[in-house]
């Protein structure tokens, strides 16, 4: 397992933290879809949203993701950086022979999302579902590693963004 290699790469690329996980560390909970459906302004609009046509539901993602045995969680206080690092790790893992490597990251590729305006996504090959939108309890998962995450009480607080790359 090249976990340390990918953790170090994530840190070199600017992650605040990066940790290796085994699939048993990931806390799946299908209730995440409730927070998406009844708490997210992007519901029904985003190209990576679980509301899009033909999207897997959280309980279906769980069956797929449990086929992986390990991966890397990436933490950043910058949403775009978190996504860029996760893509870089996914690509490097793929090039090292882990052809099923797959990143999950809340999309921040474009300054204005075409999908949220009802237009086709301009980066469909890079768009990925968010770590939380696939049925993963991000709070419980990252707290297992002592990583920072709290419910934000105001827009002035610095958010913690998490991405994950499932590798195998």
- The position carrying tokens 């610095």 is 158
| Rounded mean pLDDT, 1-12 | 93
What's the DSSP call for residue 110? S
Tokens of 18: 């990066």
pTM of this structure: 0.90
Whole-number pLDDT of residue 104: 93
Mapping DSSP onto H, E and C, the string for 5-26 reads HHHHHHHHCCCCEEEEEEHHHC
Cα–chain-centroid distance for residue 35? 16
Best CA proximity match to 133, nearest among 70, 66, 39, 10: 39
Could you tell me if 167 and 65 are in contact, meaning their C-beta atoms sit under 8 angstroms apart?
Answer: no
Q: What is the pLDDT of residues 66-120, one digit of tens each?
A: 999 999 999 999 988 999 999 999 999 999 999 999 999 887 777 777 777 777 7
Whole-number pLDDT of residue 1: 62
Residue 31 clears pLDDT 80, i.e. is over it: yes
Given pLDDT bands bounded at 50, 70 and 90, which one contains residue 34?
Answer: confident
H helix intervals, 66-146: 79-95, 138-143
């Amino acid at each position: 397992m090249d976990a340390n290699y990918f953790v170090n790469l994530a840190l070199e690329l600017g992650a605040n933290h990066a940790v290796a996980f085994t699939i048993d560390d990931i806390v799946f909970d299908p209730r995440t879809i409730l927070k998406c459906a009844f708490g997210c302004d992007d519901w029904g609009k985003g190209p990576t949203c679980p509301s899009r046509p033909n999207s897997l539901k959280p309980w279906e993602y769980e069956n797929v993701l449990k086929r992986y045995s390990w991966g890397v969680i990436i933490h950043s206080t910058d949403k775009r950086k978190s996504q860029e690092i996760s893509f870089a790790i996914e690509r490097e893992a793929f090039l090292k022979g882990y052809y099923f490597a797959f990143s999950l990251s809340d999309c921040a590729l474009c300054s204005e999302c075409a999908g949220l305006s009802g237009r086709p996504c301009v980066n469909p090959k890079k768009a990925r579902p968010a770590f939380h939108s696939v049925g993963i309890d991000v709070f419980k998962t990252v707290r297992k590693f002592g990583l920072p995450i709290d419910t934000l009480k105001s827009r002035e607080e610095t958010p913690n963004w998490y991405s994950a790359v499932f590798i195998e």
